[in-house]
Homo-oligomer: A and B are copies of this chain.
Amino acid sequence: MPHKKVVIIGGGISGIKAAIDLYNGGIKNTVILESSSRLGGRLLTIESKEYPGITYDFGASWFHDCLNNPLLEKAKSLGHVAYYFDDGKCVYFNEDSKNIDKWKFETILDELITYGSYIYTKNPEKEDLSVKALSEEYIGKYHDTLTSEQINLVLGAIRMWTELWLGESWDLISGKYFFNDSGHLGRNAFVKNGYKNVFINELKELPRIYRDSSIKFNAHVTSIDYGNPERILIKLKDGRRYTCDYVISTIPQSLLKISNPKDECFVEWIPEIPPTIKNVLPDVSFSSLGKVVFEFDECFWPRDVERFYGLSKNSPLPDQTKPWDYPTILINYQVINNIPALIALTQNPLSKYIEDLPSSEKSSKIWSIFKPVISQISTIGNEIPKPKAIYHTPWNNNPLARGSYGASLVGTQDPSLVIKAFVEGHQDRIRFAGAETMDDSSNGCAHGAWFSGKREAEFILIQERSKKSKL
């Protein structure tokens, strides 16, 4: 049974970065256990079937925090990642209007966001309300200073930003923590030729020999036994076993929540899942920010608009999914890659609905929902052509993801405390990494995952150095 100094569970960017830094710090006896047959985790670039050479990112698409993003800096210096700052013209629209002036609601939106943060600063004991309920509370208090148009637009705008930032319905998202978010560090840059190139930039930092020998595919961990204070025992589904001094789990938090031993992704912790983690798992939730790509023969929408922000004023009914029930963001691939395609961002429950559609009617159902919305940005009237291809993200139904990333639902505890439990780990040898373990603006982002891998490698290197110095 091989013994490793560190077993890294998960071959996403956090695991890869941890392995790189451990290696460079002198800890070369590590292994990366990837449960699937590909690396990258929630970084996933797919190829267009219609436009050769064109790719779409189903996972991360942007460099966020561009004032402090090491992945962007590396892309700049290496030069083979194509990206651009998508800070051009955007258009707001809804069922009634093809172009809503932003000034009609932006000051109100700022005030609503300030309200959502200020009200909990003034009264930290105030019950957590959903973004929807908190927005309605604001409207209730200040409706005498607002026109009905302003009320409609500001509710539409806050709903859109909440749902398409976090991938979950605004009546489920915690208002207390959503409004308190201090935002990103700088602009965003869209990756044009596939985030896989960003990932490969990292992967290449591991020596060839390490990559060939120490990254294990289809290495599905079924149990982590830390009953022995000397070594941790890791068992895989196929019978392989490892012992190690440290484990870095980059298992998505959505999978750590699984408590049904019959679930194919259940991981058994022996003697038990670390209690500090167990305590916070009820407060962990994965939403599903999805994407639907529509490829057309020709561009029939404005070529100078980066993104179309579609607002909705409807409340979706259970068991029905109609056009205009959900806000959406349409990303204009004509601007990005000179290809007549639109990428629609979706949120739960729409993301889930789309994934669950039987394949026989998938394309027609998706198109029936989006056709009226996309018609609204058309410059050729409502008779718009059918897309020649539709692709959508798989995150909800992917058993190894079960959503796109973490989101704080209403009523859960302070996300900082949840993150703290993961950062502290257990017994200084059970460590956690991944985008959801970052307590800053990189949380949930690719560079956040990278930072977390760096953090855990550093933790272990310091531990080991201090052990040596004690000898």
Contact = CB atoms under 8 A, between A and B. Distances in A.
A89 B102 CA distance: 9
B68 A111 contact: no
Interface in A62-109: 66-68, 85, 87-90, 101-103, 107-108
Given A68-B118, A118-B68, A107 B87 contact: yes
Nearest to A85: B145
A303 interface: no
B111 A67 contact: yes
Given A90-B103, A107-B187, A114 B67 contact: yes
A108 B89 contact: no
A186 B66 contact: no
A217 interface: no
Given A66-B111, A67-B118, A118-B185, 4 more contacts: A67-B111, A67-B114, A107-B187, A111-B187
Nearest to A105: B87
Interface in A170-191: 183-187, 189
A85 B142 CA distance: 12
A330 B87 CA distance: 27
**Copies assembled:** 2
Interface string A134-147: 00000000000100
A115 interface: yes
Nearest to A121: B185
20 contacts: A66-B111, A67-B111, A67-B114, A67-B115, A67-B118, A68-B118, A85-B107, A85-B145, A87-B108, A88-B103, A90-B103, A102-B102, A107-B187, A108-B187, A111-B186, A114-B184, A115-B186, A118-B185, A118-B186, A145-B187
A84 to B, nearest CB: 9
A108 B68 CA distance: 15
A73 to B, nearest CB: 12
A439 to B, nearest CB: 15
A148 to B, nearest CB: 15
Contacts of A183: 114
Contacts of A108: 87, 187
Contacts of A89: 101, 103
A176 B87 CA distance: 26
Nearest to A306: B103
Nearest to A88: B103
A66 B115 CA distance: 10
- Name the residue in A67, A101, A108, A185 with the highest tally of chain B Cβ atoms < 10 Å from its Cβ: A67
Contacts of A85: 107, 145
Contacts of A103: 87-90
Contacts of A90: 103
Contacts of A102: 102
Contacts of A68: 118
A85 B103 CA distance: 13
A147 B390 CA distance: 35
Nearest to A146: B85
A183 B186 CA distance: 18
A101 B114 CA distance: 25
A396 to B, nearest CB: 31
A187 B101 CA distance: 18
A183 B182 CA distance: 13
A103 B67 CA distance: 20
Nearest to A91: B103
Contacts of A110: 187
Interface in A427-443: none
A69 B218 CA distance: 61
Interface string A46-58: 0000000000000
A85 B107 CA distance: 10
Nearest to A187: B111
- In the A-B complex, the 9 residue pairs with the closest CB atoms: A87-B107, A111-B186, A111-B187, A89-B103, A114-B186, A107-B187, A85-B145, A118-B185, A114-B185
Contacts of A101: 89
